Amino acid sequence: MGLLVFAFFANAVSAAPYAAMVIDARTGEVLHARNADTRLHPASLTKMMTLYVAFEAIRRGEISLDSKITISRKAAAEQPSKLGLKPGQRIELRYLIRASAVKSANDAATAIGEAISGSEAAFARRMTQTAKALGMTRTTFKNAHGLTESGHMSTARDMTILGRHMIYDYPQYYNLFSRRSTDAGVRQVANTNRRLLANYRGADGIKTGYTNAAGFNLVASAERGNQRVIATVFGGRSSASRNARVAELLDMGFQRSKGGAIAISKPARPNYQAIETPTPKTIKVAKTITAVRKSLRPLPRPNSAEPPSEDMLLALVQDVGKSVSETRQSATPENPVVEAPATEAPPVQEPVEVAKAAAPAPTVTPLERPKNLVPASLAPVQEQPEPETETASNSRVITRASTSGGRQWGISLGKHTTRDRAERHLLKIALQEIDTLDEGLRKVVRRPQGWEANFVGLTRDRAQQACQRLSARGVNCETHGPG
């Protein structure tokens, strides 16, 4: 039975198509190619792109090596090879990078993708977009680790291109791939490529890969004197035969590449403007909350009644004068008449012209205007503050008004020395996390220790998701619920 299983396994591996490519890393010149553009399963060569995107995210300030990453159930459940991370465990990004580069840990690779893009699917889309920006025209990524998945394909040429970019775009991290072992935070791990590193002179990386569908893959680089060669193999039958074939290809590369000192033509960095990213929504920031000072009166209702006559207007004025007079006469020391303070009212339109009657109307002498009446158009309006949970002097909502819709959760992003700094911090975070915070209201609250920056009006799940993603980027964040 064991022999049958072994024979089946060997046949499955040998069925994987073979492809290879060798280039002069200094110039990008192709020295050998075989089936280099055939789309095949890359296996864990995928992690080169996972790490490339991670290095780019660090360079752009999206995340840092010291960021604490919370391991999800999905990441912890990935198949071996793995580091053995547990759901809810927190670990620094630097250890996840080491585990992915050296141990080829699938759980670490998934955790990196989720920390940077919020989900592995979103991270895989970013990987594919980055590949296109690098000139990897026949590569599509579906996950961050390289386990076999429909549509997850690449070529020997594309992976060779990626290996060259890894060397020249991020030389400060390239030494990771030559470590025989490393500290991955929870334990020491050995390099999956340690045999080639130990047995081939000048070898210093880069990445191995294996699945049943892919066979034994390897992108290797070696440097001797002024020469550097990159060799890629897809579809090896075993790790030993693959390493032997890679050694032959590297020897061929050193023989065919130009010796001596030549000018290094580094590959151009990817054009990230070409990478599709969500278009940020325009967010208007109001410095102060103001009440409406002028409101246009509605037009008359169609077929409305005739405008009041002069007699009706006169009677109205007489009634007002009589009421004021009676009020003054009934005033007593115990119950004095208190004059209301003058308040501003919205400006009114000019008086409507009274329609003239068809027949001449008798002349009416109008009564004298009561002295205590103040024309409405001259009185100032008393501003009515909008209701807030905090007093207007201590907090400010700096985004559009919105109904809560049952969203009574929020997140706090810490305190700042000035209101302006708190508001700018909120705006920056809103643009970075537009996917999770688009429905939230940005609010600054004055506390004894400073100005606290908050997002409010979120659901519990959305608040926790946003806070988790921000924490992964090194942003201080706490959730708070109703009450």
pLDDT in tens, 143-183: 999 999 999 999 999 999 999 999 999 999 999 999 999 99
262-to-26, 127, 163, 229, 257 alpha-carbon distances in Å: 8, 33, 20, 14, 11
| HSE value, Cβ hemisphere, 13 Å, CA-based, for 427 | 15
Q: Give tens-digit pLDDT for 59-85.
A: 999 999 999 999 999 999 999 999 999
- Share of residues in the chain with pLDDT > 70 (%): 69
d(Cα 278, Cα 416) in Å, to the nearest integer? 29
Give yes or no for residue 281 having a pLDDT over 50. no
Per-residue pLDDT band for 343 (boundaries 50, 70, 90) equals: very low
Q: Specify whether the CB–CB gap between 468 and 462 falls below 8 A.
A: no
The domain of 143 spans 15-257+268-274
Catalytic residues: 44, 47, 104
Domain closes at, from 274, 302, 334: 274
Query: What's the domain count of the chain?
Result: 2
Give the range among 27-41, 215-229, 410-424 with minimum mean pLDDT: 410-424
Assigned domain for 101 exists = yes
8-41 CB burial, b ≥16 within 10 A, e <16? eeeeebeebebbbbbbbbbeeeebebebbebebb
Assigned domain for 377 exists = no
Assigned domain for 474 exists = yes
User: pTM higher than 0.75 for the full model?
Assistant: no
Assigned domain for 361 exists = no
Stretch 1-17: mean pLDDT, rounded?
Answer: 49
Assigned domain for 123 exists = yes
Per-residue pLDDT band for 285 (boundaries 50, 70, 90) equals: very low
Q: What is the pLDDT of residue 325?
A: 55
Give yes or no for residue 338 having a pLDDT over 70. no
d(Cα 110, Cα 87) in Å, to the nearest integer? 12
Give yes or no for residue 130 having a pLDDT over 90. yes
Cα dihedral value 130, 88, 86, 82, nearest 10 = 10
Per-residue pLDDT band for 278 (boundaries 50, 70, 90) equals: very low
Please list the residues that pair with 313 across neighbouring strands. none
Phi, psi dihedral angles at 190 (to 5 degrees) = -100, 155
The CATH number given to whatever domain includes residue 31 is 3.40.710.10
d(Cα 167, Cα 355) in Å, to the nearest integer? 89
Q: What is the pLDDT of residue 449?
A: 87
The CATH number given to whatever domain includes residue 458 is 3.30.70.1070
Among 150, 129, 121, 154, which residue's Cα sits nearest to residue 37? 154
Q: What is the pLDDT of residue 329?
A: 54
Domain closes at, from 245, 274, 303: 274
Stretch 322-341: mean pLDDT, rounded?
Answer: 49
Per-residue pLDDT band for 369 (boundaries 50, 70, 90) equals: low
Assigned domain for 292 exists = no
Assigned domain for 66 exists = yes
Q: What is the pLDDT of residue 350?
A: 42
Q: Specify whether the CB–CB gap between 432 and 118 falls below 8 A.
A: no
Give yes or no for residue 337 having a pLDDT over 90. no
Assigned domain for 356 exists = no
Q: Give tens-digit pLDDT for 428-443.
A: 888 777 777 877 888 8
